């Protein structure tokens, strides 16, 4: 079974691509969903976070206070490093377990937003990058969730640069035109991955 890591900059259309692959019957594993699951109430990762950051990391109902945590690690590299050392090994092992469970498919898509930044490349045989123009990224994110342009730009700057992302990709889908065009490119790639998995 072919293992494909999917990534791309904010606003490039990863979620739309994931939705299309699912419509094509391809199993999709989402790192962001796993990240949420492993910090749910009762999970060891949540306890570790609480041990390190204190009870202020939790809401009154015992659920992780994501907004507080984001603020706590935003300008503190040591705290961020500690948080990532709690989360990423667990995310990685859960991704591997879910890949192993996908036994009846030609290939599997794993959506990892920080695939390059957090060293996930070695888990995959192919890296698929969803790409669009920087101006389109800003416009789409602004339209999607009303974020301020400066916030969007700072998120873009925290991610690996566009050129570096494209250089490391095996496959690139450009999402600069219509949704129909985007879907056609994904459908073509679906056939390519099915063929590659037969080799």
Q: What are phi and psi of 93, to 5 degrees?
A: -70, -35
On whether 102 is known to bind a ligand per the annotation, the reply is no
On whether 14 is known to bind a ligand per the annotation, the reply is yes
From the number of C-beta atoms within 10 Å of its C-beta (0-12, 13-18, 19+), residue 92 rates as middle
From the number of C-beta atoms within 10 Å of its C-beta (0-12, 13-18, 19+), residue 40 rates as exposed
Selection from 153, 162, 122 nearest residue 8 by Cα: 162
Q: How many CB atoms lie within 10 A of CB 120?
A: 20
Give the CA distances from residue 184 to residues 62, 148, 178, in Å, rounded to whole numbers and listed in that order: 45, 32, 10
On whether 12 is known to bind a ligand per the annotation, the reply is yes
Can you read off the two tokens belonging to residue 56? 């202020």
- Our measurement of the distance from residue 196's CA atom to the centroid of its chain's CA atoms, rounded to an integer in Å, reads 23
On whether 11 is known to bind a ligand per the annotation, the reply is yes
In 75-178, where does DSSP find H-type helix?
77-101, 134-145, 149-158, 162-167
Binding residue positions: 11-16
Binding residue positions for ATP: 11-16
């Amino acid at each position: 079974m072919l293992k494909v890591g999917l990534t791309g900059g904010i606003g490039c259309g990863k979620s739309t691509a994931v939705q299309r692959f699912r419509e094509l019957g391809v199993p999709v594993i989402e790192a962001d969903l796993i990240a949420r699951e492993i910090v749910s109430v009762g999970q060891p990762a949540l306890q570790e976070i609480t041990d390190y950051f204190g009870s202020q990391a939790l809401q009154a109902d015992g659920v992780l206070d994501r907004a507080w945590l984001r603020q706590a690690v935003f300008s503190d590299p040591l705290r961020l490093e500690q948080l990532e050392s709690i989360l990423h090994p667990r995310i990685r092992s859960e991704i591997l377990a879910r890949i192993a469970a996908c036994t009846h498919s030609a290939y599997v898509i794993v959506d990892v937003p920080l695939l390059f930044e957090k060293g996930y490349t070695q888990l995959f045989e192919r890296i698929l990058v969803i790409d669009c123009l920087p101006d389109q990224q800003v416009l789409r994110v602004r339209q999607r969730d009303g974020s301020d342009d400066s916030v969007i730009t700072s998120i873009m700057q925290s991610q690996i640069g566009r050129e570096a992302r494209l250089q490391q990709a095996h496959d690139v889908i450009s999402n600069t035109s219509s949704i129909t065009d985007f879907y056609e490119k994904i459908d073509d790639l679906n056939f390519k991955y099915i063929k590659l998995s037969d080799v």
